[in-house]
Amino acid sequence: MTPPSSAVPDEPDLGHVVVVGAGMVAHRFADQLCRRAGDRTFHLTVLGDEPWAPYDRVHLSDVFAGRADADLALDPAPWADPRVELITGDKVEALDREAQTVRTASGRVVPYDTLVLATGSWPWVPRTEGTDLPGVLGYRTLDDVGALRRWVAERSAVLGRPLRGAVVGGGVLGLEAAAALQTLDVAPTVVEFADRLMAVQLDAGGGEALRVLAEGLGMAVRTTTGATRVGAAEDGAVGSLDLSTGDVLPADVVVFSTGIRPRDRLARESGLAIAERGGVVVGPTCRTEDPAVWAVGECASYDGEAVGLVAPGNAMADVVADRLCGGDSVYEKAADGTKLKGVGVDAASFGDVLGLTPGALEVTFADPVARTYRKLVVSDDAQLLLGGVFVGDIALYSSLRPLLGRPLGADPSAFLAPEGGGPAPTELPDDVVLCSCSNVSVGTVREAVTEHGCRSVGEVKSCTRAGTVCGSCVPLLTTVVNRSLEQAGIAVSNAMCEHFAMPRAELYALVRSERLRTFTEVVSRHGTGRGCAVCRPVVASILSSLGIGHVLQPDQAPLQDTNDHLLANLQKDGTYSVVPRMAGGEVTPEKLIAFAEIARDFGLFTRITGAQRIAMFGARQDQLPAIWRRLVDAGFESGQAYGKSLRAVKTCVGQTWCRFGVQDSASMAIRLEMRYRGLRSPHKFKVGVSGCARECAEARGKDVGVIATEQGWNVYVGGNGGFTPRHAELLAEDLDDEALVRTVDRFLALYVRSADRLQRTARWVEAYPGGVAELRRVLVEDSQGIGAELDAEIARHVGGYVDEWRATLDDPEKLRRFTPYVNAPGQPDPDLSYVPERGQARPARAGEHGVPDLRAARSAAAAPDGSLDIEIVPPTREIQESTP
């Protein structure tokens, strides 16, 4: 943050400053010039060839998440300054350095005293036959976004079916384009020439982890593959994409995202020096060889390199604005980070991701179950941080990136391991750059609190511009702001995020009392903007907890977490698990036979889960409706193994069969499971019911544990397993059946009502004022008089319960989400591979040769002679008719 300069009478005016280009860097320059010039006289003209005022290109993909084009517009404050003139939709065609003028496409001639070239870059497309066909598009501007939407809508209407898409280029923009296609119900295949996705930003391990996550979202990925030709359909539009492997990929829309080149034509034609790899040659002041001409952003080349990120472009804009106002700033290259956004998977990196620094050490942690990959690159003494790669879980990115080139202060492995003991330090030095996009240091953020009176993250963002571009620094920004407020003796805001200035519990109460039914209603009444990855799932959970509509209805589906989008749990190889409810672990022989037949017909892997249910693994996205149709017809219902809700009630056989049982634990477990099935909550929760003190159901390791006694039931709350196990604490004892159910009702209703987002019952019980003793007074003794309210909330849930899968199967619009992402339903996906093992089929490991069909591998596993039969069994007529 740079406060405006005070005008001095003898300071000269700045004359006529002209900026060619109206992108993000041009906006930054205009903003900084207005701020730094103070009351100086100048006239600034910004000339752009796009029809819009400068907009946020970093969040271009947000348009496909429901954000309006106008919402991307950058802060209009610079255009309100009377010294500034913004001209859009008029491309600059020529630069006359001798006359010091520029000429636009409309014939306008604009003179300048100072010229700043901020022309950016243009998307490079390889010389490939057919790139001029209708339906071959780019993905870089609002024009591109509009063209993509129009083409998909028009082409879908012509063909009468969902489209198949291809994205050439597996970098950040390519993956965003693939996600945009999915939003438009187009099944995308990403074609990348390198051996991994995001090849510039990720190492081999990170690229492979990202591939698995991307395929899990339904994107087909082809690496080490080039695009050699775009083929035409019969009507002359795009119809296919020829690959370097010899394969032909059916494609109704092809998006090229294969890199950028500096837009340096104006400079080149005017005789300015151009770097060997393109870009206007500038020095550390960002001045060209012509003292009246400067260049910033992607069109500029400093030290032989043209940058393609907004952060260095903004830094260049700051240097030029400062120099014009008499300062002595110089541009210094800094290793910056990259964060994938708007795709549905998380990936980020910074610094030396490949460990090329001499003597560099790499510390890596990969969790294939959680699908996360984290790596730190450090100096040979393990002290200095040189780089980092994060895929699947990027929580450390924002706090570690500012430490690049600085001492870590802890064992690198402590940062990466689960529940590690080395959290990123919050007492960062003042000179650490917290927000590289806007070049804001930690010290500037602290000054915003201590010197400029900012009292929230939002106020600090407005004051300093930190966190207003890509947003990746917001978690660390929040930490620094809150710590600064605490040190100043100022109460810290408990806002859920920048869009809701309240915690989840308060928002829940407002939504409940005002009977709000959509995210739009909630955010317009109690928030700002269009939400984010933090608040949107929270609102979805609140609406579901209150029984307001199906999770896949149009106004709720875009809010859901990944698994909820398909009502299934994503697995390691990109397929899904199917886990129907088996309350209390019971299943009739008839249902068991139906289950086995379904698993056999689809070739699925089956096993008993830890929650006493039978699960099927290996279902493709397009197979889920057909599988669930048969399960529902057999009497099964969703087990909610995918949601933040009740997972299962584990039990023993109890008094019915066991000679030690003192109560009918099985019947009670089934009663509780059928009562709380589908209850959406801040976090998933589990229940256990043991028929005696021998505790075979491990009830005290559950969120709610019930243990039988000779006099009735003891109920325990706040337990969990996982990385930080906690035994549940006794809430009430010797309860009869009705008192037990009432107590559990109230505990869960109060938890749903008042817990924070993603807060387990264990942490909620620990944090509850007065602990379990106070909970006992509230829930059992009804000390606050809210017992009837809590009872009514559970009664409403029980009365309004609808099986999510049954409701989905009855709604054609909901079934559209399960459109196949391979070439045709029923055919094996070539990127899936399975091998036989122990009579079933499992995903092939690295180096194993498998077949792309579960049924074939399972058939081989069951063959007495161990032979591998790869015949693909066609689906039955019933399955074909059930597949949308």
Instruction: Give the lowest-confidence range in 355-359, 458-462, 469-473, 557-561.
Output: 557-561
Q: Is the pLDDT assigned to residue 421 strictly greater than 50?
A: no
Q: Using CA atoms of 550, 551, 555, 558 in order, give the dihedral in degrees to the nearest 10.
A: -160
Q: 354 near 364, Cβ under 8 Å? A: no
C-alpha separations of 302 from 240, 281, 766 in Å: 40, 6, 55
Positions at the binding site for siroheme: 696
pLDDT at site 881: 31
Q: 477 near 433, Cβ under 8 Å? A: no
Angle between helices 737-754 and 665-676 (to 10 degrees): 30
Q: Is the pLDDT assigned to residue 830 strictly greater than 70?
A: no
pLDDT at site 507: 87
Q: Where are the domains of the chain?
A: 15-122+262-324, 136-258, 442-493, 504-560, 644-810, 826-882
Q: What is the 3-state secondary structure (H, E, C) of 52-97?
A: CCCECHHHHHHHHHCCCHHHHECCCHHHHCCCEEEECCCCEEEEEC
The alpha carbon of residue 218 and the mean position of all alpha carbons in its chain are separated, in whole angstroms, by 15
Band (861; pLDDT cuts 50, 70, 90): low
Q: 198 near 210, Cβ under 8 Å? A: yes
Q: Is the pLDDT assigned to residue 636 strictly greater than 90?
A: yes
- Whose CA is closest to 241, among 169, 333, 337? 169
Q: Is the pLDDT assigned to residue 482 strictly greater than 70?
A: yes
What is the phi-psi region of residue 604: left when phi exceeds 0, alpha when psi lies from -120 to 50, beta otherwise? beta
Q: Report residue 571 as tokens.
A: 């697995």
Burial (0-12, 13-18, 19+ Cβ within 10 Å), 486: exposed
Mean of pLDDT values over 211-234 = 93
Q: pLDDT for 6-26, tens place per residue?
A: 344 455 689 999 999 999 999
Band (71; pLDDT cuts 50, 70, 90): confident
Band (763; pLDDT cuts 50, 70, 90): confident
Burial (0-12, 13-18, 19+ Cβ within 10 Å), 438: buried
What is the CATH code of the structural domain delimited by 442-493? Answer: 1.10.10.1100
Band (560; pLDDT cuts 50, 70, 90): low
For the chain, first and last CA: distance in Å?
55
Mean of pLDDT values over 662-683 = 91
- Kindly state the DSSP code that residue 246 receives in the 8-state scheme: S
Q: Is the pLDDT assigned to residue 874 strictly greater than 50?
A: no
Q: Report residue 19 as tokens.
A: 């900026």
Beta bridge partners of 293: 115
- Strands 614-619 and 605-608: what pairing? antiparallel
Angle between helices 624-633 and 589-602 (to 10 degrees): 160
Integer-rounded Cα Rg, in Å, for the chain is 30
Q: Is the pLDDT assigned to residue 670 strictly greater than 90?
A: yes
Mean of pLDDT values over 742-764 = 91
Rounded Cα distance between 230 and 125, Å, is 12
**Edge-to-edge strand order for the sheet containing 293-295?**
84-87, 42-47, 15-20, 114-117, 293-295
Q: 281 near 264, Cβ under 8 Å? A: no
Give the DSSP H/E element, type plus range, for residue 191: strand 187-191
Mean of pLDDT values over 164-185 = 93
Q: Is the pLDDT assigned to residue 510 strictly greater than 60?
A: yes
Mean of pLDDT values over 660-670 = 91
- Strands 114-117 and 15-20: what pairing? parallel
pLDDT at site 556: 63
C-alpha separations of 121 from 25, 90, 310 in Å: 12, 17, 12
What is the pTM assigned to this prediction?
0.60
The dihedrals phi and psi of 743, each to the nearest 5 degrees, come to -65, -45
- Whose CA is closest to 518, among 503, 505, 530, 506? 530
Instruction: Give the lowest-confidence range in 185-194, 201-210, 489-498, 809-818.
Output: 489-498
pLDDT at site 621: 82
Band (884; pLDDT cuts 50, 70, 90): very low
Q: Is the pLDDT assigned to residue 90 strictly greater than 90?
A: yes
Mean of pLDDT values over 606-632 = 88
Mean of pLDDT values over 660-679 = 92
Rounded Cα distance between 204 and 453, Å, is 46
List, in sequence order, every beta strand (DSSP E) within 488-631: 569-570, 576-578, 605-608, 614-619
pLDDT at site 561: 62
Q: pLDDT for 712-728, tens place per residue?
A: 999 999 998 765 678 89
What is the CATH code of the structural domain delimited by 136-258? Answer: 3.50.50.60
Rounded Cα distance between 391 and 347, Å, is 4
Q: What average pLDDT does the chain have? A: 85
Mean of pLDDT values over 755-783 = 88
pLDDT at site 622: 83
Q: Is the pLDDT assigned to residue 495 strictly greater than 90?
A: no
Q: Is the pLDDT assigned to residue 748 strictly greater than 90?
A: yes
Mean of pLDDT values over 727-740 = 94
In terms of average pLDDT, the best of 191-205, 421-435, 596-610, 825-839 is 191-205
Positions at the binding site for [4Fe-4S] cluster: 652, 658, 692, 696
Percent of the chain with pLDDT over 70: 88
**Edge-to-edge strand order for the sheet containing 305-306?**
280-282, 300-302, 305-306
Q: Is the pLDDT assigned to residue 98 strictly greater than 90?
A: yes
Q: Is the pLDDT assigned to residue 381 strictly greater than 80?
A: yes
Mean of pLDDT values over 35-52 = 92
Positions at the binding site: 652, 658, 692, 696
- Kindly state the DSSP code that residue 699 receives in the 8-state scheme: G
- Kindly state the DSSP code that residue 13 receives in the 8-state scheme: P
The reply to whether domains 15-122+262-324 and 136-258 share a CATH topology is yes
CATH for the 644-810 domain, from 2.40.50.180, 3.20.20.70, 3.40.50.10440, 3.30.413.10: 3.30.413.10
pLDDT at site 338: 87
Q: Is the pLDDT assigned to residue 278 strictly greater than 90?
A: yes
Q: pLDDT for 394-413, tens place per residue?
A: 878 888 888 888 888 778 88
- Strands 440-441 and 433-435: what pairing? antiparallel
pLDDT at site 464: 87
Rounded Cα distance between 119 and 263, Å, is 6
Instruction: Give the lowest-confidence range in 55-59, 455-459, 801-805.
Output: 455-459
Band (84; pLDDT cuts 50, 70, 90): very high
Mean of pLDDT values over 277-282 = 94
The CATH topology of domain 15-122+262-324 is FAD/NAD(P)-binding domain (3.50.50)
Q: Is the pLDDT assigned to residue 523 strictly greater than 60?
A: yes
